[in-house]
Structure 1
Amino acid sequence: MSNKAAPGPLLTRRRVRGDGVDLAVYEQGDPSRPTVLLVHGYPDTHAVWDETAALLAGRFHVVRYDVRGAGASTRPLGRRRYTFEYLMSDMRAVLDAAAPDRRVHLVGHDWGSIQGWEAVCTMPDRFASFTSISGPCLDHAGHWMRRRLARPTPSNLRRAAGQALRSWYIWFFQTPVLPELLWLAGGTRLFTRALAAGEGVAPRPGHPARTMARDAAAGVGLYRANTPRRLRRPRDRRTDVPTRVIVPTKDPFVSPHLVGGLAAHAPNLSLSVLPAGHWVPRSHPGDVARWVAEHAAEHAAGGAG
């Protein structure tokens, strides 16, 4: 598919009640067709998927939503309401509203992918396939780091140090108050410039969102509520949901080496390598849509179990 998308079918919006929050849910395409659920990351909204959704909506029922803390959805205060338990309750509410009687094809980018791993490992009966982009399972990442440090060869230490450097912001986000203040004081402008300079992605209506400063300040709770405990004490996670990982080799935040050993946790695994940066839903929507469509066709959705 081309990486330029014409406007897709009409986009409709509704409100769905999540776990103590109202979620803005957006749908395109024929609801009788297989459902693809696109979940955005940090500090984005559903609009990061605009180009990809337009390319998919002719063949699929495409569903997106602003996760808690972002866009037109509710922004709860504090870290506690951003734990995986709340995130999974929200996703179940969206699935129940938009595709109650079928397995869906789940696609996640960044924190949407991190959520996706939690979902396919804890409620696999809801999904026909999973496509992960630039967002590893936190438990897998924790085990990956431990394995490298347990065998401190030069190669393992180099890779562990490389990922640690890429993850610097995770630990910065644990700092009280300062990350929020920086976002609200002009972080969106810096983000926009960095995106254009680093990945060649120009601003367009919807991305970056006008709500980005508030979204980013609230979304810091995702990192505080989930990241330290999962990386320090990773759980055993496994899924049989057919999983495709799109691996951008120039991602400044997620090392491509993190896929090492992943097949032990996701045995029905395939990899698609892309010479691109982190924001591939914006920079390479045609490639993303093509791989999602191929993966969905290979693993057609059945009933919800």
Structure 2
Amino acid sequence: MADDLHSIALPTGVTLDVQVAGNPSHPPVILLHGFPESHRTWRHIVPDLAQDHFVLAPDQRGYAKSSKPQGIAEYTPEKIVADLLALADHFGLARFTLVGHDWGGAVAWMAALKHPDRIGRLVIVNAPHPLVFQRSLYDDPAQRAASQYITAFRNPGFEAHVDKIGLSAFFDSSFAPHIAPDRIADEKPVYLDQWAQPGALTGMLNWYRASAIVVPAVDTAPDRPAFLDAPFPPTQMPVLAIWGLGDTALLPCQLDQLADHVPDLTIERVDAGHFVPWQNPAAVLAALRRNLSES
């Protein structure tokens, strides 16, 4: 399928490539990818969804051929949420269903918490709730150990490491094995082209560097911040969490306290690892269809 990409300049100062599919008169859905991907995350989702929804799937700032502003401060979550809302405004979408995977899910959580008037329904695919995740990094040794890659990605020398081994080796060692090489092999040239865009690798990694999430080292016993037990606002819309139980980076413990902060919650546990839209797109679509039919 040839993606119908539109280059859209936003008042937030960035220009995003956006896949646009479906009839604008149909209910709108915005799909947000995570690291280290692009709108191609949703390759197996968009054609089906676009039959009866108006679908937008942007390459977010820092990724592929979208704008890559310089400086870590340009990648704070609130700036990326502002891109999302500006994109919705561009298409005249007052309210929409928001679907996010990985970092796209982190942005989706923040958008839903900060702008509940805009998000009619939230769908999260293997992306932890911000408080539950931060709490688990202090309280759950397994999750803390599994999250040490975040510290590695924040290292200012990480780009030099990737440059040394080459983008192809980075794809083969850090991305493809988590999906299953046979499912992603034909995508390799697409991703290598996207990652090779000037500033792309730094732009992608800056999402980690700009995040306020604290990842304690495995061998430390840091004081537990009081805010982890302070009141936290609940979500105000129906939330569907689609979770690949084989995720080795974001463990199933992320689901344990979710209902405490999400009053209207549906959890669909899926046979997949972290990259669920690639590994089990049929299950993602089935869960979306069950959920969106209730709209």
Q: Is the 8 A contact 2:144 2:215 kept in 1?
A: no
Determine the structure 1 residue equivalent to 2:208: 223
Which residue in the other structure is 2:14 paired with?
21
Residue in 2 that maps onto 1:157: none
Contact kept, 8 Å, 2:178 with 2:274, in 1: the verdict is no
Q: Which residue of 1 aligns with 2:221?
A: none
Structure 1 counterpart of 2:171: 192
Q: 1:198 to 1:73 in 2, by over 3 A?
A: closer
Distance 1:123 1:47 in 2: 26
1:92, CA displacement in angstroms? Answer: 0.7
Superposed CA deviations along residues 99-118 of structure 1, whole A, max 9, x for unmatched, are: 433x2111101100011000
Matches of 1:96 and 1:69 in 2, distance apart?
Answer: 21
Distance 1:230 1:59 in 2: 41
Q: Deviations over 1:204-260 (max 9, x none)?
A: 247535122543322111111114359966582421211111111111210011111
CA drift at 1:267: 0.9
Counterpart residue number, 2:220: none
Out of 271, 281, 291, which is 1:295 matched to? 291
Equivalent residue letter for 2:106: I
* Distance in 1 of aligned mates of 2:66 and 2:5: 15
Between the aligned partners of 1:291 and 1:193, the Cα distance in structure 2 is 30
1:37 is the counterpart of 2:21: no
C-alpha deviations, 1:137-158, integer Å up to 9, x for none? 3333113445xx3xxxxxxxxx
Separation (CA, whole Å) in 2 of partners of 1:79 and 1:70: 14
Q: Distance in 2 between matches of 1:186 and 1:98?
A: 41
Aligned partner of 1:170 among 146, 150, 154:
150
1:241 is aligned with what amino acid? M
Please say if residues 36 and 60 of structure 1, whose CA atoms lie closer than 8 Å, have aligned partners that are also in contact.
yes
Tell me which amino acid in the other structure corresponds to 2:135. Answer: H
Task: Report matched runs for 1:276-291 at 5 Å.
Answer: 276-291=272-287
Report if aligned partners of 1:69, 1:75 keep a CA contact under 8 Å in 2: yes
Aligned to 1:250: 246
Per the alignment, do residues 120 and 230 of structure 1 end up closer, same or farther by CA in structure 2, a change over 3 Å counting?
farther
Correspondence for 1:156: none
**Aligned partner of 2:117: which letter?**
D
User: Where does the alignment leave 5 or more consecutive residues of structure 1 unmatched?
Assistant: 1-6, 150-159, 301-305
- Select the structure with the greater relative contact order (CA < 8 A; seq sep ≥ 6): 1
Report how many residues are paired. 278
Secondary structure in structure 2 of the residue aligned to 1:211:
helix
| 1:179 alignment counterpart | 158
Matched residue, 1:271: 267
Output the CA distance in 1 between the equivalents of 2:126 and 2:167: 21
Q: Does 1:92 align with 2:75?
A: no
CA distance in 2, matches of 1:79, 1:33: 37
Q: Which amino acid aligns with 1:204?
A: D
How many Å separate the matches in 1 of 2:158 and 2:70? 15
Query: Does structure 2 retain, via aligned residues, the 8 Å contact 1:107–1:116?
Result: yes
Identity of aligned residues (%): 27
Confirm or deny: 8 A CA contact 1:138 1:230 kept in the other structure.
no
SS in 1 for 2:193: coil
Q: CA deviation at 1:121?
A: 0.5
Measure, in 2, the Cα distance between the counterparts of 1:18 and 1:288: 33
Aligned to 1:153: none
Question: What is aligned with 2:186?
Answer: 204
Q: Pairwise CA RMSD of aligned residues?
A: 2.3
Find the aligned partners of 1:288 and 1:18 in 2 and give their Cα distance: 33
Q: CA contact under 8 A between 2:44 and 2:277: conserved in structure 1?
A: yes
**CA-CA distance at 1:11 after TM superposition:** 2.4
Distance, in Å, in 1 between the alignment partners of 2:213 and 2:60 is 21
